[in-house]
Structure 1
């Protein structure tokens, strides 16, 4: 994909429930009429990593970035109401030149129009070597797989809520490490599955059992859709991390926020087999040392590390089994 094309954050669409918004006036009961306030702002390219890191820490995922060959690009936000817009933009004023009175920069857009823009600009691409992402406009659309060389695999995706494109560096890190360390018939647990890309990759490669977990019902619904159009049998669980999870796994993968990854690191030992591997991504480089100290304290051994830009991921081996065994599912 060339540098003038449009890319979307790894969890761009609406990852919320209607009730969670407290009855925001901008949100309609008809899902097809969900409205957003779209704000498109010019940014300096060198600021992008800082801005995205800030958005990730806020767990704000409704944005897109239009990269240009010049030093300036555009970032577009999709807000549920004016208060959310004001709060976030006020915080970002230190990174972006923002005039909050520039009304021509903002407009209301429905989810249907937003999705039309998404499907128009988002094209098939090679996520990591040998793994292609093929977006489909409609679940019922009949589309032939891309002609992939060297036995590569294709993951079909339908844009929608909790849609993860696989373009973000953290997702690529997790996918690359997963592809390298998975083995035939391995039992794989995906914590924070989002649209199910990592689970789908594991299943396509040849995992024995794959379980996809997310605390967001909309994300789980999207993951199920991904698995259905790819003809994959993958178990899904709505759970806050490991709360509703049972069984033991050869591999546990998680691409999520640093603070949450620390909890994943600590709790995973009860579900990870002896010598099982934990694949984690979403760590900002400045927190690598802190994270690895926590890993060592919790009796993990570092197997491999991978860095892309300002993001870091690693593979940890469970060198000491703790906690009681769980009934397998």
Structure 2
């Protein structure tokens, strides 16, 4: 398969906000593995010789499969960029480049390094070395470009809440599992059984591969293709959903059905302006809000189902 590299160079007063909003345009296509160029990042001591040099401009790059939907996706991307330009006074330039499979497979890996996403959890690409501290939990990840490297703020917010609320031996469901990062985090934090569901078959295959890569025994996990939670008839101690706000709202009633009494629901992928709506909707169906965490404009919410 060939791929289209879509690179968006931009100028905006709030570079972090612009980076997140542009990245979200790719996330809406399910392409979570964006590359972010930030000229302000100082090279760390662990940067190796093969690291890409410091970029000249702020940019976000996504890789779109060159299939029957590629042209439509590029048109949608350009239309939504114009919308951001009007709302945010954003200046941008978009360029496209065609890559074959081999070029694509290596183009993004130079940007992916071990990263600590919560107090104890470190996400490490399989092709990098990392010396963990005694209190660190290392997740080995080979995400595939389309399914998330764990670096998005919403993933970190969810991981931090899992660290706080998951008790050893509890069951866990990840709704929209992507590359399986939250399933892996739950398993390594001591969950008794972890399950995940995703609408994308490739994501499911990658998640299962990553679970096996990290030594999670097959009897302790299940990951399946389906329309989110329609594929499960189990109930769980903790359910997480790191997905778009409107999907969370659409699924809340069904999510309530698969959580045990006094179980925990953790949701993220919520931008600041939607926080009150999600909190209100959760309360209306019986959740007690335990906490709301924020990073930039992103929010994660944890609630306990009332008995």
1:127 to 106, 117, 121: 117
Structure 2: runs of 5+ lacking an equivalent:
42-55
**Whole-angstrom CA distance in 2 between matches of 1:184 and 1:227:** 18
Equivalent positions of 1:214-253 (< 5 A) are 214-233=198-217, 234-253=221-240
- Work out whether 1:73 is the aligned partner of 2:58: yes
Are the aligned partners of 2:32 and 2:148 in contact in 1 as well (CA < 8 Å)? no
Show CA shifts across 1:104-134 (max 9, x none): x332112321221222221112121211111
**Whole-angstrom CA distance in 2 between matches of 1:97 and 1:82:** 23
Shift of 1:58: 5.9
**Whole-angstrom CA distance in 2 between matches of 1:311 and 1:119:** 26
2:74 to 77, 85, 91: 85
Tell me the equivalent position of 2:266. Answer: 279
Tell me the equivalent position of 2:23. Answer: 52
2:302 to 293, 315, 321: 315
**Whole-angstrom CA distance in 1 between matches of 2:228 and 2:199:** 7
Show CA shifts across 1:50-97 (max 9, x none): 333454456554642211229950122333334432332133124254
User: Could you tell which deviates more after superposition, 260-269 or 283-292?
Assistant: 260-269
Shift of 1:190: 1.0
**Whole-angstrom CA distance in 2 between matches of 1:40 and 1:132:** 28
1:64 to 11, 35, 40: 35
Gap change, CA 1:90 and 1:264, over 3 Å in 2? closer
Tell me the equivalent position of 2:9. Answer: 42
Tell me the equivalent position of 1:173. Answer: 157
Across the aligned residues of Structure 1 and Structure 2, the Cα RMSD in angstroms comes to 2.3
**Whole-angstrom CA distance in 2 between matches of 1:132 and 1:77:** 23
**Whole-angstrom CA distance in 1 between matches of 2:33 and 2:111:** 16
Equivalent positions of 1:287-302 (< 5 A) are 287-302=274-289
Shift of 1:263: 2.7
SS at match of 2:229: coil
Return the TM-score normalized by structure 1. 0.78
Are the aligned partners of 1:38 and 1:107 in contact in 2 as well (CA < 8 Å)? yes
- Work out whether 1:109 is the aligned partner of 2:76: no
Are the aligned partners of 2:31 and 2:147 in contact in 1 as well (CA < 8 Å)? no
User: Could you tell which deviates more after superposition, 253-262 or 231-240?
Assistant: 231-240
**Whole-angstrom CA distance in 2 between matches of 1:305 and 1:153:** 24
Are the aligned partners of 1:119 and 1:159 in contact in 2 as well (CA < 8 Å)? no
Aligned residues: 277
Shift of 1:194: 0.6
Tell me the equivalent position of 1:197. Answer: 181
- Work out whether 1:154 is the aligned partner of 2:138: yes
**Whole-angstrom CA distance in 1 between matches of 2:136 and 2:154:** 21
Return the TM-score normalized by structure 2. 0.83
Are the aligned partners of 2:263 and 2:305 in contact in 1 as well (CA < 8 Å)? yes
